[in-house]
Structure 1
Amino acid sequence: MAATTIALYSHDSVGLGHARRNRALAYALAEHLPALTGTPVRGLLIAGHPDAGRDPLPEGWDWLVLPGLTRRGDGYAPRHLGTDAAVLRDLRSAAIDAALAALRPDLLIIDRHPFGIDGELLPALRSQRSRGGGVVLGLREVLDAPRVAGAEWDRLGGAEHVARHLDAVWVYGDEHVYDPRRTGELPRPLAELATTTGYLGRGRPAARPSAPGRSPVAPVPPYVLTVLGGGSDGVELARLAVAAELPAGHRHLLIAGPQMPPEEVAELQGRADERTTVLRSAPDVPELIAGAAAVVCMGGYNTIAELLVTDTPALVVPRSRRRQEQPRRALALAAVGALETREIGALTAADVTSWWHRAVTSRTPRDDIDLDGLTVVPHLAAALIEPAAPTPAEVSIHAV
């Protein structure tokens, strides 16, 4: 029997947020798309971070992990490979193009960067369009300050030029919380292609399983949790959390993040008292968030999506360097009562102490936020793969 083939691309120059978002989509598509298309579904996730391939995928899916790149100044450079950026781009571009030419995907889903890094996706995009395959740009709900986002579209040749390469834009958020079509982050040619899906919250897959026989990392409740995403820029917040005084009877688990430098993790472990455990990573962060009495975290998309499906009180201290994505997300969610937020420059250990003592006595309901993006996306994908199929009623409420 013929199979429906899906390819998902993420560049992954910093952390694993893009690849984790695509992995969640892969599980949702593997679960729901066969019933919608009448065919088995297989897929390939193209990623740029070596740690991405450690996480399991649905049966019939696999990773293609490209040689890595990382940010250097205003551009990108090889993460490890001893060559220059142009050679690396050509190598990655050729690998992507060859993989998609062999698989001939029915649908290509691109996370955040429509042409890839330095245009590395353009040859594959042209081939995909010439074969009649669909192309979707998937975006987190917040891009950046509108002026900055507009300049990025201009550097790609303008919104109209980008839109000509796409069949749809999926915005992974709740339009009643934050809508980039209204803020100006999505110019009209792209806004006209855009549908908000709801946050990719409910139904996210578990991360890699714990090794057999390993004891759970969660402390005996009650406990408070500090989680720093990838951790590459989280040490300032971590120091405040380690220095804060814990509520009576509570323990503290701090997940530093796999990208935090080892010397910073060691420093935090040295500062921690007997009630605080500092780990570099954990396989079950969503479960840890759900079980915590209160959470202090940064404002990355995946952490927030995992938080929103719980009623755990949260203090979000967003990253503000380089991009305004995290502060804008935190402020929008604070405005609807989903969390509290503070700027790192105005936060002290005493503030964290005070917040923890207050937060552990409450819960935060978030029932009014749309968290069902992982249910909606398979229907949107099926409509692109089978253009004649009627739009399901449950998806129509998200349409522009």
Structure 2
Amino acid sequence: MSITIAMYSHDSVGLGHARRNRAIAHALAADLPRLTGEPVGGLLIAGHPDAARDALPAGWDWLVLPGFARTADGYAARRMNLPAAQMSALRGSAVAAAVDAVSPDLFIADRHPFGVGGELTEALDLLRGRPGCRTVLGMRDVLDTPEVAAREWESVGGAERVAEAYDQMWIYGDADVYDPRRTGEIPAALAAKGRTTGYLAHGRPDDEGAPAARPYVLTIVGGGSDGAHIATAAAQAQPPRGHRHLIVAGPQMPPEDVGRLRELTADRPEVELLRSAAHVPALVREASAVVSMAGYNSVAEIMATTTPALLVPRHTRRAEQPRRAAALADVDAVDTLDAAQLSPEALSDWFAHTAGRRTLRDRIDLDGLTRVGDFAAELISVARTSDTGSAHSRTESMEVPTHV
């Protein structure tokens, strides 16, 4: 026998959802064969073409859907001349056809239980009708304020509807640092199915790249679509004596912002602007200090190191990043700077006082990627040995104790 995994991420802005799923795919490819004695392969379904630039384990591949973009009025087609409802129907048909063809043993959706415009509904109905498949909703550590989260759950039909569609919820964080069940971001109907994995930090895939000459300080802004303000301040900051300053703009930073950064750094040989870098985890690990936004994946890469970090959380659209940054600052894992206080002088001062020091983060559970294989193996084993009863009876054995 063999094991097939299917994973979904909608990816309208940035690549955070796809990058989380990719990290999990690498972990499952490494651990499930050892745990089950069976070969493992899978399909990662994503909504942004840049996702497919990242390599996958042998036996895995990408399925990139026609893209959505986030606008002031909601979701809209990124390139196609179709209304949002038709885009969701197109994408939903593609996802349903894909999961029907590969017949996965395990399906993992990142963050959005029914996708954009309910595009996962057909696929989930198909999978829930197959006794041999288990479904997991993966959630980052922080969602938003409890009030906003409650409205979002209601907008997809309520927590009870989500609980009927998924066997488990994996929460990619450390409950001792931040627990969205205790804050009210995850309702009781879903909290009962929640398992905390620990942060997906240690063991993230680290693509090879040319090593950077040390010493250097580093600024990263995720995909870059909304990180120009940080990169601009960084481009004008003074690195510590004897250090270079690497700034990774991100593949999704608008060209006009990249052009502005090139102008700011043109006469500064100590500052190197990179459009993108495949080996960001290694760059973070070897840096003397790092400035970053507070998105989940950037933070996870930082937490896996002892590199001192200054998080400048994004305040637009969601309260997610400020809440994550504050929680990690409370356990002395990072420093934080409000975006309103961001300036070249503030970054220069922080670099001068911090570069070269080390930050110990060993009190935080960072081993989520070593744990998801066990969770997956357990689900698949239960699916294969349980009776082919109703979808309702399937979920009862899935309510397991939370890992802390």
TM-score class, shorter-chain normalisation, is: over 0.9
For residues 188 and 62 of structure 2, the distance between their equivalents in structure 1, rounded to whole angstroms, comes to: 34
- What's the CA shift for 1:283? 1.3
- What's the CA shift for 1:361? 4.1
Structure 2 letter corresponding to 1:223: Y
Q: TM (normalized to structure 2)?
A: 0.93
Structure 2 letter corresponding to 1:234: G
**What is the correspondence of 1:257-336 to structure 2 with a 5 Å cutoff?**
257-272=250-265, 273-336=268-331
DSSP-derived class of the 1:137 partner: strand
1:79 counterpart = 2:72: no
DSSP-derived class of the 2:169 partner: strand
Pick aligned residue for 1:249 from 242, 245, 266 = 242
- What's the CA shift for 1:87? 1.3
For residues 117 and 298 of structure 1, the distance between their equivalents in structure 2, rounded to whole angstroms, comes to: 25
For residues 36 and 182 of structure 2, the distance between their equivalents in structure 1, rounded to whole angstroms, comes to: 33
Pick aligned residue for 2:365 from 362, 366, 370 = 370
Residue equivalent to 1:6: 5
DSSP-derived class of the 1:283 partner: coil
- What's the CA shift for 1:38? 2.5
1:399 counterpart = 2:398: no
1:197 counterpart = 2:190: no
For residues 364 and 260 of structure 1, the distance between their equivalents in structure 2, rounded to whole angstroms, comes to: 29
Q: TM (normalized to structure 1)?
A: 0.94
**What is the CA deviation profile of residues 180-239 of structure 1, one whole-angstrom value per residue up to 9, with x for unaligned ones?**
0100000001100001000001111123x45xxxxx262x21111000101111111111
Residue equivalent to 1:107: 106
Q: Is this contact kept in 2: 1:299–1:326, CA < 8 A? A: yes
1:38 counterpart = 2:33: no
Q: Is this contact kept in 2: 1:251–1:276, CA < 8 A? A: yes
Residue equivalent to 1:229: 222
Residue equivalent to 1:57: 56
Residue equivalent to 1:143: 143
Structure 2 letter corresponding to 1:193: K
Residue equivalent to 2:382: 387
For residues 239 and 205 of structure 1, the distance between their equivalents in structure 2, rounded to whole angstroms, comes to: 29
For residues 284 and 206 of structure 1, the distance between their equivalents in structure 2, rounded to whole angstroms, comes to: 6
State the number of aligned residues.
386
DSSP-derived class of the 1:77 partner: strand
Change (3 A) 1:378 1:195: same
- What's the CA shift for 1:37? 2.2
Structure 1 letter corresponding to 2:345: A
Residue equivalent to 1:360: 355
For residues 191 and 42 of structure 2, the distance between their equivalents in structure 1, rounded to whole angstroms, comes to: 28
Q: Using the TM superposition, name which of 160-169 and 34-43 deviates more.
A: 34-43
- What's the CA shift for 1:333? 0.2
Q: Using the TM superposition, name which of 68-77 and 320-329 deviates more.
A: 68-77
Q: Is this contact kept in 1: 2:206–2:282, CA < 8 A? A: no
For residues 74 and 170 of structure 1, the distance between their equivalents in structure 2, rounded to whole angstroms, comes to: 30
Q: Using the TM superposition, name which of 380-389 and 327-336 deviates more.
A: 380-389
- What's the CA shift for 1:42? 1.2
**What is the CA deviation profile of residues 332-379 of structure 1, one whole-angstrom value per residue up to 9, with x for unaligned ones?**
000000000011112222111111100014211111111110111011
Residue equivalent to 2:391: none
DSSP-derived class of the 2:359 partner: coil
For residues 269 and 312 of structure 1, the distance between their equivalents in structure 2, rounded to whole angstroms, comes to: 27
Residue equivalent to 2:168: 168
For residues 296 and 153 of structure 1, the distance between their equivalents in structure 2, rounded to whole angstroms, comes to: 33
Residue segments in structure 2 that go unaligned for 5+ positions in a row:
386-399
For residues 219 and 53 of structure 2, the distance between their equivalents in structure 1, rounded to whole angstroms, comes to: 24
- What's the CA shift for 1:71? 0.7
1:29 counterpart = 2:28: yes
**What is the CA deviation profile of residues 127-160 of structure 1, one whole-angstrom value per residue up to 9, with x for unaligned ones?**
0000121110000000011110011001111111
**What is the correspondence of 1:168-187 to structure 2 with a 5 Å cutoff?**
168-187=168-187
Identity among equivalent positions (%) equals 56
Q: Is this contact kept in 2: 1:217–1:282, CA < 8 A? A: no
Change (3 A) 1:74 1:145: farther
For residues 101 and 225 of structure 2, the distance between their equivalents in structure 1, rounded to whole angstroms, comes to: 36
For residues 106 and 73 of structure 2, the distance between their equivalents in structure 1, rounded to whole angstroms, comes to: 31
Residue equivalent to 1:118: 117
For residues 318 and 185 of structure 2, the distance between their equivalents in structure 1, rounded to whole angstroms, comes to: 13
Q: Is this contact kept in 1: 2:29–2:40, CA < 8 A? A: yes
Q: Is this contact kept in 1: 2:195–2:401, CA < 8 A? A: no
Structure 1 letter corresponding to 2:50: D
DSSP-derived class of the 2:165 partner: coil
DSSP-derived class of the 2:382 partner: coil
Change (3 A) 1:331 1:302: same
Q: Is this contact kept in 1: 2:224–2:249, CA < 8 A? A: yes
For residues 46 and 53 of structure 1, the distance between their equivalents in structure 2, rounded to whole angstroms, comes to: 10
Structure 2 letter corresponding to 1:46: I
Q: Is this contact kept in 1: 2:105–2:134, CA < 8 A? A: yes
Residue equivalent to 1:156: 156
